[in-house]
Amino acid sequence: MTVQYMLLIYEDESLYQDDSPDLEAIIAAHQALAGELAEQGILRGGEGLKTTDTATTVRKTPEGHALHDGPYAEAREQLGGFYIVDAPDLDAALAIARRIPLLRDGAVEVRPVMEMD
């Protein structure tokens, strides 16, 4: 039996400039990893995200809903993409997370997906 895990990728998006060699290299590395995971039959989804300046947050308030430009909170690192994988256990999901390409410092949050029956 496998569990689905979401691997959330956090990095400082300012390190990437449009059409920079760093961005091209990271995209190629992600494509290679995604291809390998798909070949193994464990990749269930994943995408890169546009930068936080394109984000809008909907916040529920006592008065209703409010819209805010940008992400929910200011942070040193921003959510830049994700993978959803099938893994037999947390250790296997962590092993995949360690293989995710990051330019410099960054983090990959590994979280089980809730099963909804």
The C-alpha atoms of residue 17 and residue 22 are separated, in whole angstroms, by 8
Classify strands 106-112 and 3-11 as parallel, antiparallel or unpaired.
antiparallel
The C-alpha atoms of residue 43 and residue 97 are separated, in whole angstroms, by 12
Over residues 42-70, the pLDDT tens digits come to: 999 999 999 898 999 898 999 999 888 87
Bridge partners, 61 (sequence order): 64
List the domain boundaries for the chain: 3-112
Confidence of residue 17 (pLDDT cuts 50, 70, 90): confident
**CATH class entry, domain 3-112:** alpha beta
The C-alpha atoms of residue 31 and residue 100 are separated, in whole angstroms, by 11
Residue at 67: amino acid letter? L
Over residues 63-105, the pLDDT tens digits come to: 999 888 877 667 789 999 999 999 999 999 999 999 999 988 8
